[in-house]
Amino acid sequence: MLFKHNRKINLEETVPIPTNIAHLIEQQLPVAIQMFLHSAGEFGDRDQIRVFLVGGMVRDLLIGRPSRDPDLLVQGEHLTLGDASNLARVLADAWDGKVVTYPRFGTAKIAVGEFVADVSTARVETYSAPGVLPNVAPATVEDDIGRRDFTINSVAADLSPTGFGNLLDVYNGEKDLQTRTLRILHDRSFEDDPTRLLRAVRYEARLGLQMTPQTEDAARQAVDYLNVVSGDRIRHELERIFDESEPEFALNRVEELNLFQSLVPAAEWSSKLAETVTHIRISGYESSPLVPLALLAISMDRESVETFINRINAPADWTAVMQDTCTLGERLLSLSTLRNSRTSRQCAQLSDLAPEAIIGWSALAPDQRTRDLLINFHTKWRHVKPILTGEDLLALNVPQGPQVGELLKELLSARLDETVVTREAEETFVRNHLASKK
């Protein structure tokens, strides 16, 4: 199935390629991050350490997109994996930040105010098998750039005081950004790390890029390698796709490349589901990033859903969304028979289900009256609450214990059915209930 997976690419919208981005750092980044970057370069210069800004922040600065958390790449004089940890501790002390180090991989994280900086030792990586975590060894900055996923993420900016903002672009990443091109740095890139397949479709969709024919060929040949990647790593990449402002573009591409089928054969994304995501967003319903997950579950039977949940090691919220979507699908027939029933009775069929399941089926239920019922529940009925609280019931002499919860449920039903609409009516309802028990 063919999808329109990208926005329109306008190659006329190009600007001269800069060789220094100091002005972009000043224009586009918050003052605190600007100062942090200067500080990193100054500390590095003092200790004879090369320090560069790398990855997504450089890429986003070049194309004028917002960017928040910087990635620093460091190379010490003696090439040890401890270079990142050493600089991270110095910066954390200077900026009153909190640092966590990962010695095995030569990386560290610094939490400073409202941003988190990743600091990595320049390194090379070797993979004992496709999809496994790499073995790392210290190397030069130039070597490190060559191990990255795509050329657009291989551009680095010098942070030293004398060269601040000077670009190091060994693989012409700036040119690929100009021409909206997504290109891997070497033929085994997807084989080394198959999660790059999911990252590639996300970059295509978010940045309006197009894989080169060679990159797409390599992607299609590497699809089966996703089978050896851990569920947690796959879920992390899917989560980042779901968090996109328009996730349907990336999900269309996931389907084109058969990535879902490599995880669970029955999983299928369709143009109809993509249109549904767009419709839900335009409609303005209160939504969540997991709506596409619910829509994906609609296309699967329960056994396939359970297989998918296990494959991605789904946490409780993901599991609930997918299972509840299946459950609601099974309840649709009984819901259709309740169309003329009291609102409270209809809500009883829905109140235990994840909102994402309700939203998904509100767009795809087989008949309009059921869709209207689901929309009413999601937009109105699920927000209805009794005015009286548990404390109010105790003040009205309701005995402490299970009866409080039972009465609150009855009050909720009465409000949904509009048999009580004011606080006074609720209090009368409670007094009548107590009197009936005497």
Which range, of 94-103, 128-137, 339-348, 372-381, averages the lowest pLDDT? 128-137
What percentage of the chain exceeds 90 in pLDDT?
80
Residues 6+ apart with CB under 8 A from 8: 208
Q: Which two tokens stand for residue 424?
A: 């006074």
The closest alpha carbon to 356, from 293, 267, 278, belongs to: 293
Q: Rounded to a whole number, what is the distance in angstroms from the first to the last CA of the chain?
A: 68
Give the CA radius of gyration of the chain.
27
Could you tell me which of 328, 264, 265 has the C-alpha nearest to residue 298? Answer: 328
State the pLDDT confidence band at 10, using cuts at 50, 70 and 90: very low
Give pLDDT tens digits for 348-375.
999 999 999 999 999 999 999 999 999 9
Q: Which helix (H) or strand (E) holds 111?
A: strand 107-112
For range 414-424, the mean pLDDT: 94
Per-domain residue ranges for the chain?
22-179, 390-437
Write down the mean pLDDT value for the chain: 91
Residue 132: the pLDDT is 66
pLDDT tens by residue, 382-415: 999 999 999 999 999 999 999 999 999 999 999 9
- Where do we find the tokens 């999660």? 195
CATH topology of domain 22-179: Beta Polymerase; domain 2 (3.30.460)
- What pLDDT sits at residue 138? 84
pLDDT band at residue 423 under the 50/70/90 scheme: very high
Q: How far apart are CA 374 and CA 350, in angstroms?
A: 8
What are the tens digits of pLDDT across the range 172-208? 999 999 999 999 999 999 998 999 999 999 999 999 9
